[in-house]
A = this chain, B = another copy of it.
Amino acid sequence: IRKLVLPVEEYVNGVAQGNRMVLSRAITLIESNNSDHFAKAQNVLQQLLPRTGKALRIGITGVPGAGKSTMIEALGNMLCNMGHKIAVLTVDPTSSVTKGSILGDKTRMGTLSRNQNAFIRPSPAGGTLGGVARKSRETMLMCEAAGYDIIIIETVGVGQSEITVRSMVDFFMLVVLTGAGDELQGIKKGIMELADAIVINKADGDNLLKAKVSRGEYERMIEYIRPATEGWQTHAYLCSAIKKTGLKELWKVIEIFTKMTKEKGSFQKRRENQLLDWTYSMIDEHLHNLFFDDPVITGRMPEVRQSVLTGKISPTQAVAELINL
Q: Which of A's residues lie within 8 Å of B, judged by CB? A: 42, 45-46, 49-50, 52-53, 134, 137-138, 141, 184-185, 187, 189-190, 193, 221, 223-226, 272, 275-276, 278-279, 282-284, 286-288, 290-291, 304-305, 308-309, 311-320, 322-323
Contacts and interface: CB of A to CB of B under 8 A. Distances in A.
Contacts of A317: 42, 45-46
Nearest to A48: B314
27 contacts: A42-B314, A42-B317, A42-B320, A45-B314, A45-B316, A45-B317, A46-B313, A46-B314, A49-B311, A49-B312, A49-B313, A50-B311, A138-B314, A187-B224, A189-B226, A221-B224, A275-B308, A275-B309, A276-B305, A276-B309, A282-B315, A282-B319, A283-B288, A284-B287, A287-B287, A287-B291, A287-B323
A53 B309 CA distance: 11
A144 B276 CA distance: 42
Nearest to A187: B224
A223 B312 contact: no
Q: Counting chain B CB atoms within 10 Å of each CB, which of A278, A282, A316, A319 scores highest?
A: A316
Contact of A316 (B50, B282, B291, B314): B282
B309 A272 contact: yes
A283 B319 contact: yes
Contacts of A287: 284, 287-288, 291, 323
Contacts of A318: 279
A45 B311 CA distance: 11
A134 B316 contact: yes
Nearest to A317: B42
Nearest to A134: B316
A128 to B, nearest CB: 15
A185 B53 CA distance: 36
Given A283-B322, A319-B286, A311 B46 contact: no
Contact of A308 (B42, B225, B276, B323): B276
A185 B221 CA distance: 11
Nearest to A181: B223
B184 A224 contact: yes
Contact of A141 (B286, B314, B319): B314
A286 B316 CA distance: 11
B291 A323 contact: no
